[in-house]
Amino acid sequence: MRLPRASGILLHPSSLPGPHGAGDLGAAAHHFVDWLVAAGQKLWQVLPLGGLGAGNSPYMSSSAFAGNVLLIDLHDLQRHGWLTADELAAPTAFDERRIDFETVRPFRMQRLATAAERFARHANTDDRADFVEFRASHASWLPDYALFMALAEAHADAPDWSDWPAPLAHRDAAALGAARKAHASRIAFWEFCQWRFFRQWAALKHHANKRGVRIVGDAPIFIAYHSAEVWARQDLFELDSAGRSTVVAGVPPDAFSETGQHWGNPLYRWSAHAADGYAWWVERIRRIYELVDIVRIDHFRGFAAFWEIQAFERTAINGHWVPGPGAELFNAIAHALGPLPIIAEDLGVITADVVALRKHFAFPGMRILQFAFDSDSANLYLPHNHETDSVIYTGTHDNNTSRGWWNALSDAERARVRDYLGLDPRDDGDIHWRLIRTACASVADTAIHPMQDVLGLDAGARMNHPGIGVGWWEWRFSWDQVQPQHAERLAHWCRLYRRDGTPLA
């Protein structure tokens, strides 16, 4: 599905300003929508909205369906009477430019627990009815998720669900029934948190849509092994009789890592998905579109062929390509849900079959300006080679910031960039703006700019570095970094390059 010509900002909600150590779905998020409108932006691209996994990555969530409870706005809970103003006061000042998960997580989780307990005791009739309705409308995934989270807490010394007592790991009906009774209060807590996340997100999305801003979500192709869905649907994953992965996901050696990337996610048993008409995937995509307007499917090439690594391997070097479900999966999704606006993340080792799959379904692909200048004029990422059905980025969440990228280039590489963009060395300080303007001018229908590049931040604001599992996903900004000229310049370029909704003459 072709997207209308527009531009937007890449920013995860956790990177927003806010008083409780990390961005959330509260006032700052609503204000950011208003800033997008002032800046002429029609899109807000976020990272996955699920809970955080290893290394605080949103790509290793404990559920493919649940929301990240750390994004819940605590002030909303105070307005409902479930928290007091004193309880919202932090014992120590939080960093405005960095997320310290070691302090943020316990602070927020303790207050969520307090709010859930007060809701259980004192909720009014309307709130109780809304909670019941939420549980009913999310019954396809919520009970398994809440039980999984409660069991994970109860067996915190076990690294994975397969290390739980066998009756629980293998989902013996009697054991699960007993667990639901034993952990009823914690199950109710996790259901409460999901209720508040979904209600707050719905209000934010409504505000964005009302103001003409569409949300671009992110669907990771794989999910974490230690997750509710792998535990609940073991038949859909490549597991042995003990429930452990036999093969895992990753990518071969590339520019990010000479040993490849060993992600460790369990691989899908695609034959089982096919036998079920891909019902699990249809439900997953349907639920994502309840949260967002457009979906970016991460690692799209894995649907054509994926890199399979034996579970005992420590690196990705010895993996091999295995055919994926291809068109059969997307036909099933289209048959159930109709045509959908999907962006295919087609980065990495892209072969003819990947391109053919993407074009068959008219999914726009991605172009990254930071990748454009390392070869010759045939480089697909150079603007003169762009196609309309694509999304142009200065960089993604996995790239350095544009200023950080520029600072790391050699003199010869910088000279090549200046030559292509027509820059004078005196323009080097504005390289981030030069790249954003180049993206805006591209024929690509969609242009996305990381907020770090809008603010002109260096490598210290990088969001993630593939292959390095710690120290990332922590960046956030403060409002004092945002100046009037940021929105003014973006809005001007949207008008200049027809990304403001103006139709062709």
Which residues are part of the catalytic machinery? 298, 345, 398
Distance CA 247, CA 265 (A): 9
Residue among 98, 23, 39 nearest 482 (CA): 39
Region class of 18: left (phi > 0), else alpha (psi between -120 and 50), else beta? left
> Which residues make beta-bridge pairs with 344?
297
Cβ contact 176:168 at 8 Å: yes
| Sheet architecture: strand order including 305-310 | 261-266, 247-251, 305-310, 320-323
Question: Is residue 261 exposed (0-12), middle (13-18) or buried (19+ Cβ within 10 Å)?
Answer: buried
- Tell me the one-letter amino acid at 91: P
Distance CA 360, CA 379 (A): 23
What is the CB neighbour count within 10 angstroms for residue 255?
Answer: 9
Distance CA 366, CA 386 (A): 10
SS3 state of residue 197: helix
Distance CA 34, CA 30 (A): 7
Cβ contact 138:202 at 8 Å: no
Distance CA 481, CA 483 (A): 6
Contacting residues for 381 by C-beta, under 8 A, at least 6 apart: 367, 368, 369, 371, 372
DSSP letter (8 states) at residue 457:
-
Contacting residues for 160 by C-beta, under 8 A, at least 6 apart: 225, 226, 244
How long a stretch of residues is the chain?
A: 505
Q: Please state the separation of Cα 300 from the chain's center in Å.
A: 14
Buried b (16+ CB within 10 A) or exposed e, 481-501: bbeeebbebbbbbbeebebbe
